[in-house]
């Protein structure tokens, strides 16, 4: 079963090579088949066990560990547990949906096989990030994503794609430099890059942990992105093609928050304790500011993009509490955001292709011109605003609960303000629905009905949003052990 970890990475890598070398249509088919095989290979990785942190802990569910650079004591060390498994499956699923989507809607300006190849390379980088248990290997996979995503935005994006792509790469390069320095600080001080051995702080001094956590947290904040380092995100989302936006919002942003939990908090717990109040304040600022900006937005994809800033604020608030409830809220918030926002960007792309605009003022009456499309958009919007019974509820609600349970004037205030931010989230999504689906019809959409491929791409996300909302234990149950073990390793 451990060999599946290699298969999960090798298959999309081979699919990327095949897609790039074969003719356009054949390449897209080959890439989609590779994405499907990667998803099928990821599913059996589940096991009813957990990952225990610390040098004396048991190993992950499945693990491979090969000597990579013996002179530097670096290992090709991969593993999966209840924290990473949901994100691995989500990544494989969204990549398959995006690759399959290109079979129906060939991208402009052509070269669809190259786009599929880049999506598969991005998948390798994201999956490797979630599976890596060596800090240097983690950094390598973390950076694999950068250039392919730049190319996706720069080549297949909208009219202002060059500016958005440059902004994306400059911001993420800044974060990468800080992340690299943070990794070097930890490895040079501890003498090992093994994340399992380092969890709980290892032999790192308090000063080293404070410095390392600061560097790592800022690096991850850029990728997430967390306020105030978020300004590359709206431009990237607005200009990226539909499949690029889905991958960017659905799983690429999760690399930062996952790294914050697995690496920053795990490796430098004293730094996490020291910075927790600051992280909490920044998280609530992201929730409020993101919501207020959304209330003022007039462009569909840009509004959805800014909503991610607020949602990631709830995830950061959960992490900042350093409690079991808060970290569990962050984990399920990550998964819920990936599912729901991925669906929202699929829908935004479908609306813009039919209406040839994303201006909210020109999209009124969608329920009259395309009622089925309006219905799915309504479902995705109420899921994202946190309606109980749908996936978006759990992360937001329990991040607030965790902050209030943490106690003290600061955390209680943060919890209350975050709850107000949740109400603002409902306000801007209801405003979105009022502007887009209600009122007199403006123009007409062609085609007004949903294509079978669109239904096939969206249906799994609709089902997951409902399933996770009704049965949150699908995510929380498998993560309970790892979260408890991580907290026990904290000072």
Q: What is the pLDDT of residues 177-198, one digit of tens each?
A: 998 999 999 888 888 888 888 8
- Contacts by 294-297 with C-beta closer than 8 Å and gap 24+? 294/424, 294/425, 294/428, 295/424, 295/427, 295/428, 295/431, 297/360, 297/428
In degrees, rounded to 5, the angle at the alpha carbon of residue 421 between the alpha carbons of residues 290 and 411 is 110
User: Is residue 1 classed exposed, middle or buried when 0-12, 13-18 and 19+ CB atoms within 10 A define those classes?
Assistant: exposed
- Provide the pLDDT confidence category of residue 29 given band limits of 50, 70 and 90: very high
Q: How many structural domains does the chain have?
A: 1
CA distance 50 to 61: 7
Convert the pLDDT of each residue in 43-98 to its tens digit.
888 864 444 444 333 457 778 888 887 777 778 889 888 888 999 999 999 999 99
Spatial contact of 31 and 112, defined as CB atoms under 8 Å apart: no
> What's the number of CA atoms in the CB half-sphere (13 Å) around residue 322?
21
Residue 427 CA to chain centroid, in angstroms? 24
pLDDT tens digit string along 431-490?
Answer: 888 888 887 777 667 677 778 888 888 999 999 999 999 988 888 878 777 888 788 777
> Which tens digits make up the pLDDT trace of 118-131?
999 999 999 999 99
Q: Are 259 and 183 in contact (CB under 8 A)?
A: no
Domain holding 99, by residue range, is 3-489
Token pair of 152, please? Answer: 């996706």
Question: Mean pLDDT, the chain, as a whole number?
Answer: 86
The mean per-residue pLDDT over the stretch 17-46 comes to 90
- Token couple for 465: 């949003």
Of 442 and 199, more confident: 199
Q: pLDDT over 70 for what percent of the chain?
A: 94
Chain segment 342-359, per-residue pLDDT in tens: 999 999 888 888 887 878
Query: Mean of the pLDDT values across residues 395-404?
Result: 91
Q: What are 156-166's pLDDT values in tens digits?
A: 878 788 888 88
According to the model, what pLDDT value does residue 37 have? 94
Q: Name the DSSP class of 407.
A: -
* The residue to which tokens 């593993």 are assigned: 79
- CA 64, CA 298: separation in Å to the nearest integer? 49
Residues in the chain: 491
The owner of tokens 């759990």 is 394
Residue that the structure tokens 């190319």 belong to: 151
Q: Given a cut of 90, is residue 205 above it in pLDDT?
A: no
Q: If DSSP codes are grouped into helix, strand and coil, which group holds residue 76?
A: strand
pLDDT in tens, 294-320: 888 888 888 998 888 888 899 999 999
User: CA dist 238 to 165, 197, 291, 364, Å?
Assistant: 11, 41, 17, 20
């Amino acid at each position: 079963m451990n060999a599946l970890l290699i298969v999960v990475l090798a298959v999309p890598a081979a699919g990327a090579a095949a897609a790039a070398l074969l003719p356009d249509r054949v390449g897209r088919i080959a890439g989609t088949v590779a994405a499907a095989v990667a998803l099928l290979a990821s599913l059996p990785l589940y096991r009813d066990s957990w990952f225990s942190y610390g040098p004396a802990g048991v190993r992950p569910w499945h693990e491979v560990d090969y000597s990579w650079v013996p002179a530097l004591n670096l290992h090709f060390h991969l593993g999966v547990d209840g924290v990473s498994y949901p994100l691995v499956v989500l990544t494989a699923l969204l990549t398959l949906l995006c690759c399959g989507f290109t079979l129906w809607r060939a991208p402009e300006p052509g070269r669809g096989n190259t786009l599929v190849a880049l999506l598969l390379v991005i998948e390798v980088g994201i999956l490797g990030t979630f599976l890596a248990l060596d800090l240097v290997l983690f950094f390598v996979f973390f950076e694999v994503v950068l250039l392919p995503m730049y190319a996706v935005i720069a080549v297949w994006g909208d009219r202002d794609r060059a500016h958005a792509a440059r902004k994306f790469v400059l911001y993420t390069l800044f974060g990468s430099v800080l992340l690299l320095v943070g990794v070097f600080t930890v490895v040079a001080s501890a003498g090992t890059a093994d994340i399992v051995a380092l969890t709980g702080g290892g032999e790192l001094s308090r000063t080293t942990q404070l410095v390392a956590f600061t560097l790592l947290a800022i690096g991850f904040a850029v990728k997430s992105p967390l306020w105030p380092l978020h300004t590359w995100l709206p431009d990237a989302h607005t200009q990226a093609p539909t499949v690029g936006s889905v991958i960017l919002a659905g799983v690429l942003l999760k690399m930062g928050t996952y790294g914050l939990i697995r690496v920053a908090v795990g490796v430098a717990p004293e730094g996490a304790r020291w910075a927790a109040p600051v992280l909490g304040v920044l998280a609530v600022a992201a929730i409020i500011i993101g919501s207020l900006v959304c209330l003022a937005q007039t462009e569909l994809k840009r509004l959805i993009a800014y909503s991610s800033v607020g949602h990631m604020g709830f995830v950061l608030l959960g992490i900042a509490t350093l409690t079991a409830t808060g970290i569990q809220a962050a984990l399920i918030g990550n998964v819920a955001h990936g599912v729901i926002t991925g669906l929202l960007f699929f829908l935004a792309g479908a609306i813009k292709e039919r209406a040839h605009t994303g201006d909210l003022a020109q999209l009124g009456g969608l329920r009259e011109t395309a009622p089925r499309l309006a219905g799915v958009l309504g479902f995705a919007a109420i899921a994202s605003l946190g309606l109980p019974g749908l996936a978006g509820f759990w992360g937001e609600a329990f991040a607030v609960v965790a902050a209030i349970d943490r106690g003290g004037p600061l955390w209680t205030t943060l919890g209350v303000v975050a709850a107000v931010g949740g109400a603002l989230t409902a306000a801007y999504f209801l405003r979105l629905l009022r502007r887009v689906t209600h009122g007199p019809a403006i123009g007409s959409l062609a085609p007004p009905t949903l294509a079978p491929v669109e239904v096939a791409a969206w249906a799994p996300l609709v089902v997951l949003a409902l399933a996770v909302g009704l049965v949150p234990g699908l995510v929380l149950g498998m993560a309970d052990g790892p979260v408890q073990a991580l907290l026990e390793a904290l000072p």
